[in-house]
Chain A
Amino acid sequence: MSNFFSLLYNELFKIYIRKSTWVMYIILGLIAVGGAIIISAFDDVQPTEYTDNWKEELQEENEALHKDNEEFGYSFNDDRIMKNEYLLENDIRPLNYGAWQYTLENVGLVAIVSLLTIIIGSSIISNEYKWGTIKLLLIRPISRNVILLSKFIAIFVFGLFTMIYLFLVSMLGGAIFFGFEGFNPSTVIMTANGIEYVPIVGEVMSEYGYRIVNLIMMTTLAFMISTIFKNSSVAIGVGIFLLMGGNIITGIFSQYEWSKYLLFANLDLKMYETGNILIDGMTLGFSITMLIVYFVVFVALAWLFFNKRDIVNQ
């Protein structure tokens, strides 16, 4: 077993020793703090600082929001207004904007973490072919299954590290530009059951968590494709296309009953919390079963192709 950790260490070493990995991290870091820089640079998008007079401030804010709604003839501020009213009714002082809320808003950047993980997952095997080192890997007294597993796990360790990095950079950027709300602040959010007052930490965890499903499935798909074709560009292309276009594909077919069996229809487990279920009759159990089935098929195909093949040059 110590041997397996050596293999995992080897794989992570090969990922993190390369400059291209650090370039990815720098870009992700810049994007993650970029939002904070932009928000604090422009006065009119800056979040309100509530003082001890917060009740009056909230009321003023709501009046302004109502006015906006009327002006544009569209009630895009309703959520905000309802949240403010909830705070006033329950006598809860609103939380000033800070690191936690910024991090929560940065959850969309998990798509970039997925992208980077797909890139790593697509190239972890095909690169060995490209470099010619696959021959040196597969002549060791270690079965191909174990080599494949070490690579597969390394991809997700990379994904996890990158996720933690995104979280830390967002928190740090948020704290520097907006301040820190404390270790366990709570805030009001909209849920399926209306407005609730909840700890932000839990919200952050669940928002990031739901998106990991997509990351895992797309990366496994890309890993499978690159293992079969020994080519990372095809896999990266397909992975990114599906990452971006998955929702569109589901949208096109959602009128058909069978579309619930599509992978993309089952990627967003949050729909079971919010109640916006894509296709009638879908349940959390159904989606989880579908995800497991797809996952097993992807892994089995990768395993089959990696194990069977004679190792020859491209």
Chain B
Amino acid sequence: MSNVALELTNVRKKIKNKEIIKDVNLAIRQGEVYGFIGPNGAGKTTTIRMIVGLMDLSDGEIKILGKSIEKDYKAAARNLGAIVENPEMYPFMTGRQNLRHFARMYDDVPKGRTEEVIGLVGLEKAIDEKVSKYSLGMRQRLGIAQAILHKPAVLILDEPTNGLDPAGIREIRDYIRRLAVEDNVAVMISSHLLSEIELMCDRIGIIKHGELITEQSVKEDSEEADQSEIKVVLDVKETEEAIKVLASLELKAEKEGSQLVSLMTRETIPQVVYKLVEAGLTVYGVTGVKQSLEDQFLELTGGNIIE
């Protein structure tokens, strides 16, 4: 188990007596990619602003590698890289000039590092053009480049896939996985669209109205997956009898056309199949339909993506 790199404890934010963030607790380990998902206005950016020190906390504590962002700002900020909201850079400067500008704000970023990150995000061709000519995708890449210049232990990306096409999203996913795996960076990546970042995350947390309502591992075949209920479609000739068999196992089933649909854990599927066959029924097929995170997300957030 690797160390916790970013930790939020009982974090609250009140702006003008309105509670925007309500008691958020979360911890991200080194090398872990954490998806921070929630509809627009849920409080993602506000949480991120507090993590990076742009906003004061009303209550609670945020630690980066054990250093409090409020009490030990410099030490905490040294290990932090971020894009907050849009990846805005100086439009009248070239990509390289922008990166050099930010590199100079650290004592220990060698010149060669700028070239290294340019290569990493694949901006070699456009790096000497003015940022005002960059597409959104190029600006996102430059944004990531400035965030990783100083090899931070914690990388925070606020909606980095916003406005990108699927190819662009895949590229970002590739760098981020690489950063997490190769450099052991803890990455927090926010989005209002689960589908865009689900594939790059190890774990996701869903925030709504300023509350972290659930956290979930994205990994397949884990023990957790064995124990969570999934939808199973049973294609059996004698549906009525099958319902009785399932009832004897304390499982409810519903008819959907000529098929049956039931909720059960992965573990119980073999037993169900055995009982059906034992009862002499004709079983054409048993299919587990994994409810996607997207479905769960829609369920949890009431399907209301844009509020």
Q: State the A residues within 8 Å of B (CB).
A: 2-3, 6-7, 9-10, 13-14, 17-19, 131-133, 135-143, 310-313
Contacts and interface: CB of A to CB of B under 8 A. Distances in A.
B86 A132 contact: yes
A7 B105 contact: yes
Contacts of A311: 49, 54-55
A6 B54 contact: no
Contacts of A133: 88-90
A133 B88 CA distance: 6
B74 A142 contact: yes
Interface stretch (B96-104, B113-121, B201-209, B294-302): B96-104
A73 to B, nearest CB: 58
B88 A131 contact: yes
Contacts of B90: 14, 131, 133
Interface string B103-128: 01111000000000000000000000
Contacts of A6: 104-105
A17 B92 contact: yes
Interface residues of B, number: 31
A135 B85 contact: yes
Interface centre among A132, A135, A310, by most B CB within 10 Å?
A: A135
Contact of A135 (B56, B88, B91): B88
B77 interface: yes
B104 A7 contact: yes
Q: Which 6 A-B pairs have the closest CB atoms?
A: A132-B88, A311-B54, A6-B104, A141-B77, A310-B55, A141-B78
A23 B251 CA distance: 79
Interface of B: 15, 49, 52-56, 73-75, 77-78, 80, 82, 84-86, 88-93, 97, 101-102, 104-107, 146
Contacts of B104: 6-7, 9-10
Given A7-B105, A131-B91, A133-B89, A138 B73 contact: no
A310 B54 contact: yes
B12 to A, nearest CB: 14
A222 B207 CA distance: 42
A143 to B, nearest CB: 7
Contact of B82 (A10, A139, A141, A310): A139
Contact of B106 (A132, A135, A136, A141): A141
Contact of A139 (B15, B52, B85, B92): B52
